[in-house]
Amino acid sequence: MAWMEWLRFIAGSIFLIMGLGIFVVEMIGVFRFKYVLNRMHAAAMGDTLGIGFSLLGLIIMSGFTFTSLKLLLVIIFLWFSSPTSSHLIARLEVATNEDEEQHYRVISLKELEAELDNREE
């Protein structure tokens, strides 16, 4: 039975290390990207995936108990709330950004269709 404990410990450690690696990549992305929406995307994806892997590692390490159920509920809550809050922050940035031409352009459906027709010809 001791080998089963070691197997759980190793599997949980792998998930924890993967979660920490994702957090490191997230921090590098947040500091390296110049535009705020790119930074926010790196932070949101890193949080969702990094926390998911880290908590999954803790679930495996703690065994399947009531604590595991609570950690699973935390993962589910964070998977719903983090992308939602990131989306709202992105919409606020787009709505209040004064230098929009520098980062993106607003295009209507008719302009897009005309551009696609020009590419086909």
Confidence at 103, pLDDT banded by 50, 70, 90:
low
Residue 16's pLDDT is: 94
Domain extent listing, the chain: 2-120
Q: Please give the pLDDT value at position 59.
A: 92
What's the pTM value of the predicted model, to 2 decimals? 0.70
How many angstroms separate the CA atoms of 21 and 14, rounded?
A: 10
CA distances from 36 to 30, 92, 103 (A): 9, 11, 10
pLDDT tens figures, 11-56:
999 999 999 999 999 899 888 888 777 888 888 888 888 989 999 9
Give the Cα separation of 51 and 45 in Å (integer): 10
